[in-house]
Amino acid sequence: MTPPLSDLMAEAARCVADVHAGRSLADLLPAVPAPLRPGTQALVFDTLRRAGTARALVGALAERKPPPPVAALLEVALALLLQGTAYAAHTVVDQAVQALPRLRAPALRGFVNACLRRFLRERDALLIRAQATPEGRWNHPEWWVQRLQQDYPDQWTTVLAADDRPGPMVLRVNRRQTSREAYRARLAALGWAADPIGADGLVLADPVPVERLPGWEAGAVSVQDGAAQLAAPLLLGDGLPAGARVLDACAAPGGKTAHLLERADLDLWALDADGARAERIRDTLRRLRLPAAGQVRVLTADAGTPADWWDGRPFDAILLDAPCSASGIVRRHPDVRWLRRPGDIDRLAAEQRRLLAALWPLLAPGGRLLYATCSVFRAEGADVVTDFLARHPQARALPAPGHLLPGGLAADATDTTAGFVSAHAMGDNARRGMDGFFYALLAKG
């Protein structure tokens, strides 16, 4: 039974208001009642992708600022009206009014009704006014827009547009259990089309609930964007000897850890500074029946303080998927753009530099370190690695994608000064439309 739209709008308004107050959807959505969760998530995602315009419209429509849940309800309703396809305009207005008792604001029925009906009457003029600022025009904070303009003067508008399109559902087939073509045939037998991406991936034509995927519980397949699936083959290269020591330094929730173990027999260490997140690595490996060979150690530890956990034996390869702004994956996590603050980028870049400097001495001579972030900002990618190479003459940059922009865009070639190859060299992967990412592969000696 489909829940009433008014109930979904009320739950979505609570979530949107809490995001504007600084809370993450990763914490908010699990608290939504299960029957309302899928519809609420869809409304919240759509609203946050239009929140710059919607918030400006609320400011133009309301002479006095309404309580946060009611302002957020107006944003949800306006996002639906801007979308213009899912529901008739009169239905959206009516259901927004009906949602107010769930928000404990029944006295504001007339106010909400008047605001939305005024928008329908004066839509064009109000939109011109709302989109007069960068935030209202591009649905990203102004500082974010300015940083993209600086980093990608020829591509920033395309990056912003890509952020507002939902990413496809991408699977990674567990090659320990089956081949990609065999799994693709299982999907086809269910009427689900999928195209190959990378070495182990499949892009579904239409998303499906994970529990309906054949072999999901048995670990035959995972959900992982094509950009993230580049990490394991980049680090492993032409192959490491069986039992090679490999460190996944910031491993939770374990997708890249698992991909490494699916592709090679390793002595793998997986770290995360947070105990609950480290447990998610274990959960991921249990579902995928890993390791099938070799061994893995999951530790709760700060990768930047090796004296607390390292046994003194060098690693043959290190993956540093460093904490970052997540600016490359906002099409999948639309709350991120509204949660980040300008100062976060410098703070995160400092942490990335700390981790990189701390882990480099743990790498064996001739070994490789893959530095990765799911960020499109150069301050968290090319700038970090270029500075590191200048300070470490024994480090040598090997070919790697550099900055991948969301939607499969290729960053310009300026990263080649640090030894990166352009994303143009990624061929099929780049054309498929991956998340934004950064990769640099460094060899020691």
**Catalytic machinery residues:** 374
Three-state secondary structure of the chain: CCCCHHHHHHHHHHHHHHHHCCCCHHHHHHHCCHHHHHHHHHHHHHHHHCHHHHHHHHHHHCCCCCCHHHHHHHHHHHHHHHHCCCCCHHHHHHHHHHHHHHHCCHHHHHHHHHHHHHHHHCHHHHHHHHCCCHHHHHCCCHHHHHHHHHHCCCCHHHHHHHHCCCCCCEEEECCCCCCHHHHHHHHHHCCCCEEEECCCEEEECCCCCHHHCCCCCCCCEEECCCCHHHHHHHHHCCCCCCCEEEEECCCCCCHHHHHHHHHCCEEEEEEECCHHHHHHHHHHHHHCCCCCCCEEEEEECCCCCHHHCCCCCCEEEEEEECCCCCCCCCCCCCCHHHHCCHHHHHHHHHHHHHHHHHHHHHEEEEEEEEEEECCCCHHHCHHHHHHHHHHCCCEEEEEEEEEEECCCEECCHHHHHHCCCCHHHHCHHHHHCCCCEEEEEEEEC
